[in-house]
Amino acid sequence: MTFFSTIGGYILMIKGMFTKPENLKMYWKELMHQSVEIGMGSLGIVAVISVFMGAVSAVQTSYQLTSPILPKETIAYIVRDTVILEFAPTLVCIVLAGVIGSKIAGELGNMRVSEQIDALEIMGINTKSYLVLPKILAALITIPLLVILAMVLGIYGGRLAGSLGGILSTDIYDRGLIQNFVSKNVWFGLSKAYTFAFIISSVSSFYGYHVKGGALEIGRASTTAVITSCILILFADYILAFFLL
């Protein structure tokens, strides 16, 4: 029963967002604020993870490809597709679920507990539209950009690790990058990024918006939001891979 009530509450929250804004300038300001908070606040961790992700992928790929028959370019080829198809969109978004999801759930939960949401509703403001919609739109704008950055830095991290570790030269790595390149893989990675961005922002907003209690419940809601988002990301990853590949 709790499962169906949660699903129903989530659908009603999404439905309640789509109303005419009371003040378009105020909504635009909130959207820009959330875009900066989500995008710039996660830039550092995404950059660090992406570089090391590509570096580790290059080292492990070279360790497994020990056959002299396979050319060295194969390492770059595998690193490129692994980063674009899986590591950049999925791994980065799982990390962002912890960084962004807990922040969104904690922010809305604190506003609910301190009765700021109730005050806004008394003033005639649609809080679902004003508080939740800008967060979801900001996530849909910034998270795919972060995933694109992760793709670039991941590939560069593999190139750097291959050069510094003496695995393969930069010229060989660059030749492997353009070998059998399929542009569909990039669009597949971006489709995953948009899907995961919506999951992270909407699920975290739902749990934060419906907090009941005090500070302890805010912490529980943040934890639940992160866990639920990660599970849904992995499930959506399988579904998208099954149908789009």
How far is the C-alpha of 145 from the C-alpha of 88, rounded, in Å? 11
The pLDDT value recorded for residue 66 is: 67
Token duo for residue 128: 């679902």
The pLDDT value recorded for residue 114 is: 87
One-letter amino acid identity for 189?
G
For the chain, give every domain's residue range: 22-239
How far is the C-alpha of 169 from the C-alpha of 214, rounded, in Å? 57
**Category of 180 on φ-ψ map: left (φ > 0), alpha (ψ -120 to 50) or beta:** left
Residues of the chain with pLDDT under 50: 1
The pLDDT value recorded for residue 129 is: 86
Model pTM?
Answer: 0.90
What confidence tens digit (pLDDT) does each residue in 43-93 have? Answer: 999 999 999 999 998 888 888 776 677 777 888 888 888 899 888 999 999
76 within 8 A of 181, measured Cβ to Cβ: no
One-letter amino acid identity for 81?
D
How far is the C-alpha of 201 from the C-alpha of 68, rounded, in Å? 47
DSSP assignment string, 58-96: HHHHHHH---TTS-THHHHHHHHHHIIIIIIIIIHHHHH
